[in-house]
Chain A
Amino acid sequence: MTGHDVNYDTGPDMGHDTGHHAVPLRINLLVWAALMALTAITVGVTSFDFGFLNVVVALTVATTKAGLVILWFMHLRYEGRVIRLMVFTAFVILAIAIGFTFFDVAYR
Protein backbone atom coordinates (compact mmCIF):
# COMPACT_ATOMS: atom_id res chain seq x y z
CA MET A 1 0.00 0.00 0.00
CA THR A 2 1.13 3.53 -0.48
CA GLY A 3 0.70 6.79 1.34
CA HIS A 4 -2.73 7.39 -0.10
CA ASP A 5 -4.48 5.30 2.51
CA VAL A 6 -3.81 7.47 5.49
CA ASN A 7 -5.88 10.58 5.16
CA TYR A 8 -9.53 9.70 5.11
CA ASP A 9 -10.35 11.59 8.28
CA THR A 10 -9.73 14.94 6.64
CA GLY A 11 -10.37 14.02 3.05
CA PRO A 12 -8.01 13.61 0.14
CA ASP A 13 -5.43 16.36 0.80
CA MET A 14 -2.66 13.76 0.82
CA GLY A 15 0.99 14.34 0.25
CA HIS A 16 1.32 17.82 1.73
CA ASP A 17 1.23 19.10 5.28
CA THR A 18 -1.74 21.34 4.67
CA GLY A 19 -3.90 21.25 7.73
CA HIS A 20 -4.50 24.99 7.86
CA HIS A 21 -3.25 28.33 6.66
CA ALA A 22 -0.30 30.18 8.11
CA VAL A 23 -1.17 32.39 11.07
CA PRO A 24 -0.89 36.05 9.98
CA LEU A 25 2.05 38.05 11.32
CA ARG A 26 -0.29 40.61 12.88
CA ILE A 27 -2.02 37.98 15.03
CA ASN A 28 1.25 36.48 16.25
CA LEU A 29 2.48 39.92 17.25
CA LEU A 30 -0.82 40.73 18.97
CA VAL A 31 -0.63 37.53 21.00
CA TRP A 32 2.93 38.33 21.97
CA ALA A 33 1.96 41.84 23.03
CA ALA A 34 -0.91 40.47 25.12
CA LEU A 35 1.45 37.99 26.80
CA MET A 36 3.88 40.79 27.65
CA ALA A 37 1.08 42.97 28.99
CA LEU A 38 -0.20 40.13 31.16
CA THR A 39 3.33 39.54 32.47
CA ALA A 40 3.53 43.22 33.41
CA ILE A 41 0.15 43.02 35.15
CA THR A 42 1.00 39.91 37.14
CA VAL A 43 4.31 41.39 38.28
CA GLY A 44 2.68 44.74 39.08
CA VAL A 45 -0.12 43.20 41.14
CA THR A 46 2.39 41.72 43.59
CA SER A 47 3.10 45.17 45.05
CA PHE A 48 -0.40 45.02 46.57
CA ASP A 49 -1.18 42.54 49.30
CA PHE A 50 -4.60 40.93 48.83
CA GLY A 51 -3.65 37.89 50.92
CA PHE A 52 -4.88 34.67 49.35
CA LEU A 53 -6.38 36.64 46.44
CA ASN A 54 -2.84 37.21 45.15
CA VAL A 55 -2.62 33.50 44.39
CA VAL A 56 -5.98 33.60 42.60
CA VAL A 57 -4.98 36.61 40.51
CA ALA A 58 -1.59 35.17 39.62
CA LEU A 59 -3.07 31.83 38.58
CA THR A 60 -5.86 33.49 36.60
CA VAL A 61 -3.35 35.57 34.69
CA ALA A 62 -1.11 32.54 34.15
CA THR A 63 -4.05 30.52 32.83
CA THR A 64 -5.02 33.34 30.48
CA LYS A 65 -1.45 33.41 29.19
CA ALA A 66 -1.44 29.63 28.83
CA GLY A 67 -4.68 29.86 26.89
CA LEU A 68 -3.19 32.41 24.49
CA VAL A 69 -0.13 30.21 23.89
CA ILE A 70 -2.20 27.07 23.38
CA LEU A 71 -4.86 28.62 21.15
CA TRP A 72 -2.64 30.71 18.88
CA PHE A 73 1.03 29.78 19.15
CA MET A 74 0.16 26.09 19.34
CA HIS A 75 -2.60 26.54 16.71
CA LEU A 76 -5.25 24.74 18.76
CA ARG A 77 -7.78 27.32 17.52
CA TYR A 78 -7.22 26.02 14.00
CA GLU A 79 -7.30 22.32 14.84
CA GLY A 80 -10.20 19.96 14.38
CA ARG A 81 -12.61 18.74 17.03
CA VAL A 82 -10.59 15.57 17.77
CA ILE A 83 -7.42 17.29 18.94
CA ARG A 84 -9.37 19.93 20.86
CA LEU A 85 -11.31 17.26 22.71
CA MET A 86 -8.08 15.42 23.48
CA VAL A 87 -6.45 18.52 24.98
CA PHE A 88 -9.56 19.15 27.05
CA THR A 89 -9.49 15.56 28.37
CA ALA A 90 -5.85 15.79 29.39
CA PHE A 91 -6.40 18.95 31.41
CA VAL A 92 -9.55 17.54 33.04
CA ILE A 93 -7.57 14.51 34.23
CA LEU A 94 -4.84 16.78 35.59
CA ALA A 95 -7.45 18.88 37.39
CA ILE A 96 -9.00 15.74 38.91
CA ALA A 97 -5.61 14.49 40.14
CA ILE A 98 -4.80 17.76 41.87
CA GLY A 99 -8.35 18.59 42.94
CA PHE A 100 -9.30 15.23 44.43
CA THR A 101 -6.08 15.13 46.47
CA PHE A 102 -7.54 18.08 48.35
CA PHE A 103 -10.37 15.85 49.62
CA ASP A 104 -7.56 14.55 51.79
CA VAL A 105 -5.23 17.45 52.53
CA ALA A 106 -7.89 20.14 52.94
CA TYR A 107 -9.86 18.15 55.53
CA ARG A 108 -7.10 16.63 57.60
Chain B
Amino acid sequence: MHEHRDYEGAKIGMWLFLFTEVLLFGGLFLLYAVYLHRYPAEFHAAGKDLSRIFGTANTIVLITSSLFMALAISALQRGKVLLSQRLVLLTVALAGVFLVNKFFEWSAKISHGIYPDSPALLKLPPGEMVFFNLYYLMTGLHGIHVIIGGAVLLYGWHLMRAGRVTPEHFVFLENGGLYWHLVDLVWIYLFPLFYLVV
Protein backbone atom coordinates (compact mmCIF):
# COMPACT_ATOMS: atom_id res chain seq x y z
CA MET B 1 0.00 0.00 0.00
CA HIS B 2 1.31 3.40 -0.87
CA GLU B 3 1.80 5.96 1.82
CA HIS B 4 -0.40 8.98 2.27
CA ARG B 5 1.51 12.18 2.73
CA ASP B 6 -0.70 14.76 4.31
CA TYR B 7 1.58 17.26 6.03
CA GLU B 8 -1.22 19.45 7.34
CA GLY B 9 -3.25 16.45 8.50
CA ALA B 10 -0.29 14.99 10.38
CA LYS B 11 0.15 18.28 12.20
CA ILE B 12 -3.55 18.56 13.08
CA GLY B 13 -3.39 15.03 14.46
CA MET B 14 -0.34 15.92 16.54
CA TRP B 15 -1.92 19.05 17.96
CA LEU B 16 -5.02 17.07 18.91
CA PHE B 17 -2.79 14.60 20.69
CA LEU B 18 -1.06 17.45 22.52
CA PHE B 19 -4.47 18.66 23.72
CA THR B 20 -5.00 15.30 25.37
CA GLU B 21 -1.68 15.77 27.17
CA VAL B 22 -2.67 19.26 28.25
CA LEU B 23 -5.95 17.98 29.66
CA LEU B 24 -4.22 15.00 31.31
CA PHE B 25 -1.95 17.37 33.21
CA GLY B 26 -4.94 19.69 33.51
CA GLY B 27 -6.58 17.31 35.99
CA LEU B 28 -3.52 17.59 38.22
CA PHE B 29 -3.33 21.36 37.80
CA LEU B 30 -6.97 21.48 38.88
CA LEU B 31 -6.08 19.61 42.07
CA TYR B 32 -3.09 21.89 42.62
CA ALA B 33 -5.26 25.01 42.23
CA VAL B 34 -7.87 23.79 44.69
CA TYR B 35 -5.34 22.69 47.29
CA LEU B 36 -3.29 25.88 46.99
CA HIS B 37 -6.54 27.75 47.60
CA ARG B 38 -7.21 25.62 50.67
CA TYR B 39 -3.71 25.39 52.18
CA PRO B 40 -1.77 28.56 51.18
CA ALA B 41 0.32 28.64 54.36
CA GLU B 42 1.22 24.94 54.30
CA PHE B 43 2.14 25.11 50.61
CA HIS B 44 4.35 28.08 51.41
CA ALA B 45 6.10 26.21 54.19
CA ALA B 46 6.54 22.98 52.22
CA GLY B 47 7.73 24.77 49.09
CA LYS B 48 10.65 26.23 51.02
CA ASP B 49 12.00 22.67 51.34
CA LEU B 50 12.43 22.31 47.59
CA SER B 51 15.72 23.37 46.07
CA ARG B 52 15.25 26.56 44.08
CA ILE B 53 18.70 26.05 42.55
CA PHE B 54 17.79 22.66 41.09
CA GLY B 55 14.47 24.02 39.84
CA THR B 56 16.02 27.04 38.15
CA ALA B 57 18.82 24.97 36.63
CA ASN B 58 16.33 22.53 35.16
CA THR B 59 14.24 25.39 33.79
CA ILE B 60 17.29 26.76 31.97
CA VAL B 61 18.13 23.27 30.70
CA LEU B 62 14.65 22.66 29.29
CA ILE B 63 14.26 26.11 27.72
CA THR B 64 17.61 25.73 26.04
CA SER B 65 16.72 22.25 24.83
CA SER B 66 13.57 23.72 23.30
CA LEU B 67 15.74 26.28 21.50
CA PHE B 68 17.95 23.51 20.08
CA MET B 69 14.84 21.66 18.96
CA ALA B 70 13.48 24.73 17.18
CA LEU B 71 16.87 25.31 15.57
CA ALA B 72 17.00 21.67 14.46
CA ILE B 73 13.71 22.06 12.59
CA SER B 74 14.83 25.30 10.93
CA ALA B 75 18.14 23.70 9.96
CA LEU B 76 16.40 20.72 8.40
CA GLN B 77 14.01 22.98 6.48
CA ARG B 78 17.04 24.79 5.06
CA GLY B 79 18.57 21.47 4.00
CA LYS B 80 21.32 21.37 6.64
CA VAL B 81 20.73 17.73 7.60
CA LEU B 82 23.95 17.15 9.52
CA LEU B 83 23.52 20.30 11.62
CA SER B 84 19.95 19.28 12.32
CA GLN B 85 21.05 15.83 13.48
CA ARG B 86 23.56 17.37 15.86
CA LEU B 87 21.01 19.79 17.27
CA VAL B 88 18.58 16.93 17.90
CA LEU B 89 21.30 15.02 19.74
CA LEU B 90 22.01 18.13 21.82
CA THR B 91 18.32 18.33 22.69
CA VAL B 92 18.31 14.71 23.81
CA ALA B 93 21.50 15.29 25.80
CA LEU B 94 19.81 18.15 27.67
CA ALA B 95 16.84 15.88 28.34
CA GLY B 96 19.38 13.56 29.97
CA VAL B 97 20.80 16.43 32.04
CA PHE B 98 17.29 17.29 33.19
CA LEU B 99 16.63 13.72 34.29
CA VAL B 100 19.95 13.44 36.13
CA ASN B 101 19.13 16.67 37.99
CA LYS B 102 15.71 15.35 38.79
CA PHE B 103 17.21 12.11 40.05
CA PHE B 104 19.45 13.94 42.51
CA GLU B 105 16.62 16.16 43.61
CA TRP B 106 14.26 13.27 44.26
CA SER B 107 17.02 11.23 45.96
CA ALA B 108 17.72 14.05 48.39
CA LYS B 109 14.04 14.31 49.28
CA ILE B 110 13.62 10.57 49.62
CA SER B 111 16.72 10.26 51.80
CA HIS B 112 15.09 12.79 54.14
CA GLY B 113 12.18 10.38 54.37
CA ILE B 114 9.80 12.55 52.33
CA TYR B 115 7.96 10.42 49.78
CA PRO B 116 4.33 9.28 49.41
CA ASP B 117 3.12 7.13 52.29
CA SER B 118 6.39 7.58 54.24
CA PRO B 119 6.27 7.78 58.04
CA ALA B 120 7.95 11.20 58.02
CA LEU B 121 5.47 12.56 55.46
CA LEU B 122 2.50 11.29 57.45
CA LYS B 123 3.69 13.32 60.47
CA LEU B 124 3.51 16.60 58.48
CA PRO B 125 0.45 18.86 58.56
CA PRO B 126 -2.23 17.77 56.00
CA GLY B 127 -1.54 20.67 53.63
CA GLU B 128 2.16 19.82 53.42
CA MET B 129 1.34 16.17 52.79
CA VAL B 130 -0.84 17.22 49.87
CA PHE B 131 1.94 19.47 48.56
CA PHE B 132 4.55 16.73 48.49
CA ASN B 133 2.14 14.15 47.08
CA LEU B 134 1.31 16.57 44.26
CA TYR B 135 5.00 17.31 43.81
CA TYR B 136 5.86 13.65 43.30
CA LEU B 137 2.86 12.98 41.07
CA MET B 138 3.27 16.00 38.81
CA THR B 139 7.04 16.02 38.44
CA GLY B 140 6.93 12.23 38.14
CA LEU B 141 4.39 12.30 35.33
CA HIS B 142 6.39 15.10 33.71
CA GLY B 143 9.58 13.04 34.06
CA ILE B 144 7.93 10.14 32.24
CA HIS B 145 7.09 12.57 29.44
CA VAL B 146 10.71 13.75 29.30
CA ILE B 147 11.80 10.14 28.84
CA ILE B 148 9.20 9.51 26.13
CA GLY B 149 10.06 12.80 24.38
CA GLY B 150 13.78 11.98 24.44
CA ALA B 151 13.08 8.54 22.97
CA VAL B 152 10.91 10.01 20.21
CA LEU B 153 13.63 12.52 19.29
CA LEU B 154 16.28 9.80 19.25
CA TYR B 155 14.09 7.86 16.86
CA GLY B 156 13.73 11.00 14.74
CA TRP B 157 17.52 11.28 14.68
CA HIS B 158 17.70 7.66 13.54
CA LEU B 159 15.17 8.38 10.78
CA MET B 160 17.26 11.32 9.58
CA ARG B 161 20.35 9.12 9.40
CA ALA B 162 18.33 6.48 7.55
CA GLY B 163 17.19 9.16 5.09
CA ARG B 164 13.53 8.83 5.98
CA VAL B 165 13.25 12.26 7.56
CA THR B 166 14.54 14.72 4.98
CA PRO B 167 14.35 18.45 4.16
CA GLU B 168 11.33 17.52 1.98
CA HIS B 169 9.59 15.24 4.47
CA PHE B 170 10.28 16.42 7.97
CA VAL B 171 6.85 16.18 9.57
CA PHE B 172 7.94 13.38 11.92
CA LEU B 173 10.67 15.53 13.38
CA GLU B 174 8.41 18.55 13.49
CA ASN B 175 5.77 16.59 15.43
CA GLY B 176 8.43 15.16 17.72
CA GLY B 177 9.54 18.74 18.29
CA LEU B 178 5.98 19.80 19.10
CA TYR B 179 5.87 17.06 21.70
CA TRP B 180 9.16 18.22 23.14
CA HIS B 181 7.99 21.83 23.38
CA LEU B 182 4.89 20.62 25.21
CA VAL B 183 7.12 18.91 27.77
CA ASP B 184 8.87 22.25 28.17
CA LEU B 185 5.51 24.03 28.41
CA VAL B 186 4.34 21.85 31.30
CA TRP B 187 7.58 22.51 33.13
CA ILE B 188 7.18 26.25 32.61
CA TYR B 189 4.12 25.98 34.89
CA LEU B 190 5.46 23.33 37.27
CA PHE B 191 8.54 25.42 38.05
CA PRO B 192 6.84 28.48 39.58
CA LEU B 193 4.04 26.42 41.14
CA PHE B 194 6.35 24.19 43.15
CA TYR B 195 9.57 26.19 43.55
CA LEU B 196 8.55 29.86 43.54
CA VAL B 197 5.03 31.00 44.40
CA VAL B 198 4.82 29.07 47.63
A residues apposed to B, CB below 8 Å:
2-3, 6-7, 9-10, 14-19, 21-25, 28-29, 31-32, 35-36, 39, 42-43, 46, 52, 54-55, 58-59, 61-62, 65-66, 69-70, 72-75, 79-80, 82-83, 86-87, 90-91, 93-94, 97-98, 101-102, 105-106
Cβ–Cβ contact B15 & A97, under 8 A: no
Cβ–Cβ contact B188 & A66, under 8 A: yes
Cβ–Cβ contact B23 & A93, under 8 A: yes
CB of B42 within 8 Å of the partner chain: no
Closest 4 CB pairs between A and B?
Answer: A22-B77, A58-B192, A90-B19, A22-B74
CB contact between B12 and one of A16, A24, A82 (< 8 Å): that residue: A82
Interface residues of chain A: helix, strand, loop or mixed (majority):
helix
Cβ–Cβ contact B2 & A3, under 8 A: yes
CB contact between B181 and one of A59, A73, A106 (< 8 Å): that residue: A73
A55 to B75, CA, bound (A): 38
CB of B106 within 8 Å of the partner chain: no
Contacts of A83 in B (CB 8 A): 11-12, 15
A25 to B70, CA, bound (A): 9
CB contact between A28 and one of B8, B23, B74, B78 (< 8 Å): that residue: B74
**Contacts A46-B52, A66-B185 supplied; 6 other A-B pairs, CB < 8 Å:** A3-B6, A66-B189, A73-B67, A94-B29, A98-B26, A105-B38
Cβ–Cβ contact A58 & B5, under 8 A: no
CB contact between A17 and one of B69, B171, B185 (< 8 Å): that residue: B171
Interface residues of chain B: helix, strand, loop or mixed (majority):
helix
| B: contact size bracket | 35 or more
Contacts of B52 in A (CB 8 A): 43, 46
A65 to B38, CA, bound (A): 27
A97 to B30, CA, bound (A): 8
Contacts of B34 in A (CB 8 A): 101-102, 105
Cβ–Cβ contact B37 & A106, under 8 A: yes
